[in-house]
Chain A
Amino acid sequence: MAMNTPRQTSHLKREILVRLIKAYLSDNFEENTRLIPYAMRPKGSEVPYRCCIHKERAILRDRTVAGLGMSIEEADDSVLLSTLAHKATDRDKPESNPLTVLTSACKGCVPSRIYVTDLCQGCVARPCVNTCKFGAISIQNGKSVIDADKCKSCGMCVQVCPYQAITKIIVPCENACPVEAIQKDEEGYAKIDFEKCISCGKCVAACPFGAVHEKSQIIDVLKNIKAGKKVIAMLAPAIMGQLPCSAKQLKNAIMKLGFFDVYEVAQGADITTKTEAAEFEERLENGAEFMTTSCCAGYNELVDKHIPEMKPFRSDTKTPLYYTSEIVKREHPDAITVFFSPCNAKRKEAMKNPNVDFVLNYEEVGAWFVALGIQVAECAESEFKAQASAEARNYAVTGGVAKAVQKLLPEHLPTYPVVINGLDKQSIRDLKKYAKNGVCDIGNLIEVMACPGGCLGGNGTVNAYKPALKQLTKYVNESEPLEVNG
């Protein structure tokens, strides 16, 4: 599957967001929220996905709970959406864990295991029986049978079967999670262990039933704008590849939503580049073998929770969001800041940073434009007050951070950039090895991106990867290059 391909589940989630925003802006938010499942599946309408209209509505109701920013697991089925809508407008801070699982949408997939299909020919060679190190395969009635108690799911038999008759059945969310934080519980439903979860959002993208949801903060942001607060948007570089318009048109469109001003987080990325380059040089001079970058929130969570031995090798430089939010709060101490994020992991980073009040992903921003009927391509152009370098704007693309840092390093310094393009079980094993040995055999400046492709591949993006990359690259190429010794 291509990276961040939008699917039918995204369509449902986005439709609910649009309806929620329209409800909030209407004269009866609570009642119009309660009606969302009925408006989407009115009496007599067809039932596209589930057993009956009632289950469809029940699931849409739960999806709306996530849209209101609440935990579906904790919301009692008997509580009306109107009551929850009211409750959503009462809170001052978003709920702590950014993800929630909708068990009524979770299929409770069959457990992950190795399975012999009907294609088994009961051949004479029997490579599956011979290759299995655990003695788990025997022939019964002329066909291979796996003893589940002995099978370790190593997959050797899958590889050796000449008929490709043996297959691994996977649970998509479990399979996508790089840290085994999402597992089926006793009843077979997916459950997230937030002690382990690094908020990377891979399970959100992987579940074919759309059962994993981000808890939206859209109501919180709308509420602050309605209250007349000075709400300021901070745009992660990845957004410049997301919607069919120029960067300046995007700023104009965001101002129309009611924001007081719009900053590019690339502005902070320029500070990250300079600080990180100086840090790398100093570390190498002090004998360090390697250093990793520190701007990906998913990676930072990974190190904190799963690879503490990597901490001495991770850069102490702050993220572009950190520096940008600091600038915004210095210039506007009374501002409410909203980070426009390509991924779920940044929600977690924002919760730890008092300078970042809320986070919206690009699905939510897009839904907001839809709700207001704003045509971004027809918007006028608004100038950004501060500029950022081409390299900073290219942070959204895998390899972009290392490339920017490298540009500022003196030539005599032996710099070998390496890019970890997406966290998965293998790349995490590699990182653990580097941390344990204190050496990375393939380079010394390691950029880590949780999502393949970098931030443009984030789970909260709207545009497909290729056109997003094309559009962002155009913007990067129109920007001033980073000044060396500047």
Chain B
Amino acid sequence: MDKKVSVKVCLGTTCFVMGSANLQELIELVPKKYGDRVDVSGVPCLGLCSIDWEFSKAPYVKVDDEVVKEATVEKVLAKIEEKLK
């Protein structure tokens, strides 16, 4: 049975300003690469930035239940690969 991975790119204001604007390309890129094995979407604020000074670790992306901090396209793709193994 194929595993299915869920990717949620936080598009809350903090994540957006700190770099998730640039992660929007994942929303196009991932389905092309993985088809329906990976479900990717932009989501409203995940609430991770509001704790203390955690804005500095934004942007956040959730791959299944795991949080990717200071996410980049490369980091998220690596995490997806790890999950699909």
Please give the residue numbers on chain A whose beta carbons come within 8 Å of chain B beta carbons, in ascending order. 5-6, 10-11, 14-15, 18, 39-40, 243-244, 363, 366-367, 369-370, 373-378, 462-464, 466-467
Please give the residue numbers on chain B whose beta carbons come within 8 Å of chain A beta carbons, in ascending order. 11-14, 16-19, 21-22, 24-25, 44-45, 49-50, 53, 55-56, 70
Report yes or no: B56 in contact with A243, Cβ–Cβ below 8 A: no
Min C-beta distance of A24 to chain B, whole Å = 16
- The contact of B16 among A5, A15, A243, A466, by CB within 8 Å, is A243
Complex CA gap A366/B16 in Å reads 9
28 A-B contacts (beta carbon < 8 Å):
A5-B22, A6-B21, A6-B22, A11-B18, A15-B55, A15-B56, A18-B55, A243-B16, A244-B11, A244-B12, A363-B17, A366-B16, A366-B17, A369-B13, A370-B13, A370-B14, A370-B18, A370-B49, A370-B55, A375-B45, A377-B12, A377-B45, A462-B17, A462-B21, A463-B16, A464-B24, A464-B25, A466-B24
Count of A-B contacts judged by CB separation below 8 Å = 65
Give chain A residues whose Cβ lies under 8 Å from the Cβ of B53. Answer: 39
Given contacts A40-B56, A244-B11, A377-B12, contact A464 B17 (CB under 8 A): no
Report yes or no: B21 in contact with A467, Cβ–Cβ below 8 A: yes
Give chain B residues whose Cβ lies under 8 Å from the Cβ of A366. Answer: 13, 16-17
Given contacts A18-B55, A373-B50, A377-B44, contact A464 B22 (CB under 8 A): yes
Interface SS of chain B: helix
Complex CA gap A158/B28 in Å reads 36
Complex CA gap A374/B13 in Å reads 7
- The contact of A376 among B13, B21, B49, by CB within 8 Å, is B13
Give chain B residues whose Cβ lies under 8 Å from the Cβ of A370. Answer: 13-14, 17-18, 49, 55
- The contact of B18 among A5, A15, A374, A466, by CB within 8 Å, is A15
Given contacts A244-B13, A370-B55, contact A11 B21 (CB under 8 A): no
Complex CA gap A462/B11 in Å reads 13
Give chain B residues whose Cβ lies under 8 Å from the Cβ of A6. Answer: 19, 21-22
Report yes or no: B13 in contact with A375, Cβ–Cβ below 8 A: yes
Interface SS of chain A: helix
Which residue of chain B is the closest to A376 with respect to CB atoms? Answer: B13
Which residue of chain B is the closest to A16 with respect to CB atoms? Answer: B56
The 7 closest A-B pairs by CB, nearest first: A366-B17, A463-B21, A6-B22, A370-B14, A467-B24, A376-B13, A244-B11
If A369-B17, A375-B12, A467-B24 are given as contacts, then 7 extra A-B residue pairs at C-beta distance below 8 Å, sorted by A number, are A6-B19, A243-B16, A370-B14, A373-B14, A377-B12, A464-B21, A467-B21
Min C-beta distance of B72 to chain A, whole Å = 8
Complex CA gap A91/B50 in Å reads 33
Min C-beta distance of A243 to chain B, whole Å = 6
Complex CA gap A326/B18 in Å reads 34
Complex CA gap A172/B44 in Å reads 36
Complex CA gap A14/B55 in Å reads 11
Min C-beta distance of B45 to chain A, whole Å = 6
Give chain B residues whose Cβ lies under 8 Å from the Cβ of A18. Answer: 55-56
Complex CA gap A262/B6 in Å reads 40
Which residue of chain B is the closest to A379 with respect to CB atoms? Answer: B13
Residue among B17, B21, B55 with max Cβ neighbours from chain A (10 Å): B17
Complex CA gap A10/B58 in Å reads 12
Min C-beta distance of A23 to chain B, whole Å = 12
Which residue of chain A is the closest to B59 with respect to CB atoms? Answer: A11
Complex CA gap A369/B56 in Å reads 14
Residue among B18, B45, B70 with max Cβ neighbours from chain A (10 Å): B18
Complex CA gap A412/B50 in Å reads 60
Complex CA gap A244/B50 in Å reads 18
Give chain B residues whose Cβ lies under 8 Å from the Cβ of A377. Answer: 11-13, 44-45
Give chain B residues whose Cβ lies under 8 Å from the Cβ of A462. Answer: 16-17, 21
Min C-beta distance of B52 to chain A, whole Å = 11
Give chain B residues whose Cβ lies under 8 Å from the Cβ of A369. Answer: 13-14, 17
Give chain A residues whose Cβ lies under 8 Å from the Cβ of B44. Answer: 375, 377-378
Which residue of chain A is the closest to B42 with respect to CB atoms? Answer: A244
Give chain B residues whose Cβ lies under 8 Å from the Cβ of A243. Answer: 13, 16-17
Give chain A residues whose Cβ lies under 8 Å from the Cβ of B70. Answer: 11
Report yes or no: B25 in contact with A14, Cβ–Cβ below 8 A: no
Complex CA gap A376/B16 in Å reads 10
Give chain A residues whose Cβ lies under 8 Å from the Cβ of B56. Answer: 15, 18, 40
Give chain A residues whose Cβ lies under 8 Å from the Cβ of B19. Answer: 6, 10-11
Give chain A residues whose Cβ lies under 8 Å from the Cβ of B49. Answer: 370
Min C-beta distance of B15 to chain A, whole Å = 9
Give chain B residues whose Cβ lies under 8 Å from the Cβ of A464. Answer: 21-22, 24-25
Complex CA gap A376/B22 in Å reads 18
